[in-house]
């Protein structure tokens, strides 16, 4: 047997087992009834086989949530959500199995094609399940197995390498069983269960998410990106991510996918907590491209996310980079608490809204330690009939002497039916803090577009080029292989934005 084929065979064999016991969580198909109650919270916790303290933690969050009000301060408008009309457990499995790509919305397929996603991966993203007996007559979930086949060969190599370095990277539900002390020590210490309406809801009902621990002095040997992209498909609507970089360690983590995800869950409320101890650095990148709703503004995902990083140790650094192109509503403020002296927080953001999308996003940089620094670069692009708001807070505590911030918020309008808004809050409680804020709003001019098309670019290529120029500073912050995809994604998101 040729060596290549042999390897393929071997990986295939390893695969099936790895799939069962590996990164994927096997979720039973039984589901909890609609609605939210203490019983549902108990049900979820039991399903996950969680320790008693975790159940208590969830219940406490649930009781707290009952007393809270949904926030209304964001510049977003959506019909009232009936929280008793949602499934809280079966949600991650609600993707309907499709028999072939023919059943998928052709618009989505076109996008896959433009992004250059291989056919197989397209099927997985779109949720296609091949019927039994097709091809080599394998198990009903042949495509899924194939997907794991494609990815686990990579994934197993990754796992071995990570293990060698001592990095723990697993679903949080597994971590709760295998590393309960670590989880207990850090969970909810950055975003407490009482934090806000959506974070509290997440604390009560989160289904799964990722857990990363990088031991002292370890530089994580790879971007935790390719790996995650492959494993993303079954994440549910209430994700919980916890990343701890111990003293002197470094990790770069990437969540999301440039390909649009077919998703029946309308409400997403994730929580991400990052903790950087002394001299540690965490780089967290997101590409979000959930369903934004149809051309009339119907449907689409509501994305209410709480992301926060705690620069707990001295000289620590946390950097957020986000490319937000999807969702009907985005409510998201990845923030940094700069607790350790000399710690540094960064926020680089590209938020694109088209059609009827509404984005209210920004960051908070809370300077608590001495000589802490932060940098905010936000690029908002509004097209169609969308509304795009940057909302940010920069604050310096009384003791945060010598703290510095630089903020630049640029907005670009395409067309005349969209809106861009900037809402910066700045609070300096000591006289040595130095905060700078710059903001611009501009419009893509007809003259610029005409110049480009006169040189042979199509109208859409021209818009893509101009916008990519506008967001260049931020794109440069993304991991290399992702920056290219993100660039294409930006052009695609703006298609049809110019008449």
User: Using CA atoms, how far apart are residues 342 and 432, in angstroms rounded to an integer?
Assistant: 14
Could you say whether residue 226 binds other proteins (CB under 8 A)? Answer: no
User: Using CA atoms, how far apart are residues 416 and 443, in angstroms rounded to an integer?
Assistant: 9
Instruction: Give residue 478's Cα distance to chain centre.
Output: 14
List 21, 77, 446, 480, residue binding other proteins (CB under 8 A): 446
List 192, 453, 483, 495, residue binding other proteins (CB under 8 A): 453
Beta-strand relationship, 317-324 and 344-353: parallel
Stretch that binds other proteins, among 75-83, 166-174, 298-306, 466-474 (CB under 8 A): 466-474
Stretch that binds other proteins, among 142-150, 187-195, 333-341, 467-475 (CB under 8 A): 467-475
- Least distance between other proteins and beta carbon 409 (Å): 16
**CA nearest 48: which of 234, 174, 233?**
174
List 375, 459, 479, 488, residue binding other proteins (CB under 8 A): 459
Element (H, E) at 332: strand 329-332
**CA nearest 290: which of 319, 336, 332?**
332
Could you say whether residue 438 binds other proteins (CB under 8 A)? Answer: no
Long-range Cβ pairs for the range 69-73 (8 Å, 24+): 69/197, 70/197, 71/196, 71/197, 71/198
**CA nearest 391: which of 404, 407, 405?**
407
Find where tokens 């997985």 sit. 124
Stretch that binds other proteins, among 218-226, 250-258, 429-437, 444-452 (CB under 8 A): 444-452
Beta-strand relationship, 168-171 and 210-214: antiparallel
List 2, 106, 137, 456, residue binding other proteins (CB under 8 A): 456
- Least distance between other proteins and beta carbon 317 (Å): 26
User: Using CA atoms, how far apart are residues 256 and 323, in angstroms rounded to an integer?
Assistant: 10
**Looking at beta carbons only, is 221 or 469 nearer to other proteins?**
469
Size of the site for other proteins (CB under 8 A): 23
Could you say whether residue 491 binds other proteins (CB under 8 A)? Answer: no
- Least distance between other proteins and beta carbon 440 (Å): 11
Stretch that binds other proteins, among 65-73, 302-310, 398-406, 471-479 (CB under 8 A): 471-479
Stretch that binds other proteins, among 204-212, 330-338, 380-388, 447-455 (CB under 8 A): 447-455
- Least distance between other proteins and beta carbon 457 (Å): 5
Q: DSSP label at 128? A: B
Q: Point out which residues bind other proteins (CB under 8 A).
A: 445-448, 450-459, 461, 465-466, 468-473
């Amino acid at each position: 047997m040729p060596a290549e084929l042999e390897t393929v065979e071997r990986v295939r064999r390893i695969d099936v087992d790895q799939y069962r016991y590996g990164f994927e969580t096997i979720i039973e198909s039984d589901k909890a009834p609609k609605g939210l109650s203490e019983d549902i919270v108990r049900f979820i916790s039991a399903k996950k086989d969680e320790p008693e303290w975790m159940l208590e933690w969830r219940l406490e969050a649930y009781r707290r949530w009952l007393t809270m009000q949904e926030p209304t301060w964001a510049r977003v408008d959506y019909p009232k959500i009936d929280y008793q009309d949602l499934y809280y457990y079966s949600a991650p499995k609600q993707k309907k199995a499709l028999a072939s790509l023919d059943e998928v919305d052709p618009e989505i397929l076109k996008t896959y094609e433009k992004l250059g996603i291989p056919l197989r991966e397209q099927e997985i993203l779109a949720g296609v399940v091949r019927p039994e007996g097709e091809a080599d007559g394998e198990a009903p979930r042949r495509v899924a197995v194939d997907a794991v086949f494609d990815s686990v060969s990579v994934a197993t190599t990754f796992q071995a390498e990570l293990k060698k370095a001592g990095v723990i990277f697993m679903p949080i539900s597994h971590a709760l069983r295998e590393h309960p002390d670590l989880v207990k020590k850090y969970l909810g210490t950055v975003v407490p269960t009482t934090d806000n309406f959506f974070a509290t809801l997440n604390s009560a009902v989160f289904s799964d998410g990722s857990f990363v621990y990088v031991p002292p002095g370890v530089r994580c040997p790879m971007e935790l990106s390719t790996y995650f992209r492959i494993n993303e498909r079954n994440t549910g609507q209430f994700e919980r991510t916890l990343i701890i970089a111990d003293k002197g360690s470094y990790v770069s983590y990437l969540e999301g996918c440039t390909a649009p995800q077919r998703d029946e869950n309308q409400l997403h409320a994730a929580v991400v907590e990052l903790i950087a101890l002394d001299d540690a650095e965490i780089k967290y990148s997101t590409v979000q491209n959930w369903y934004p709703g149809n051309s009339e503004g119907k449907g689409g995902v509501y994305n209410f996310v709480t992301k926060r990083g705690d620069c707990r140790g001295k000289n620590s650094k946390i950097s957020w980079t986000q490319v937000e192109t999807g969702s009907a509503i985005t409510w998201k403020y990845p923030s940094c608490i700069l607790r350790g002296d000399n710690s540094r927080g960064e926020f680089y953001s590209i938020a694109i809204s088209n059609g009827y999308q509404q984005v209210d996003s920004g960051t908070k940089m809370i300077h608590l330690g001495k000589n802490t620094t932060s940098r905010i670069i936000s690029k908002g692009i509004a097209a169609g009939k969308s509304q795009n708001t940057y909302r940010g807070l920069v604050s310096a505590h009384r003791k945060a002497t010598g703290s510095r911030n630089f903020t630049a918020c640029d907005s670009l309008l395409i067309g005349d039916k969209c809106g861009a808004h900037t809402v910066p809050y700045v609070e300096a409680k000591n006289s040595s803090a130095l905060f700078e804020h710059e903001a611009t709003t501009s419009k893509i001019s007809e003259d610029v577009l005409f110049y480009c098309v006169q040189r042979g670019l199509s109208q859409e290529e021209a818009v893509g080029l101009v916008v990519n120029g506008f967001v260049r500073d931020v794109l440069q912050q993304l991991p290399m292989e992702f920056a290219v995809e993100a660039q294409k994604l930006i052009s695609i998101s703006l298609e049809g934005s110019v008449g």
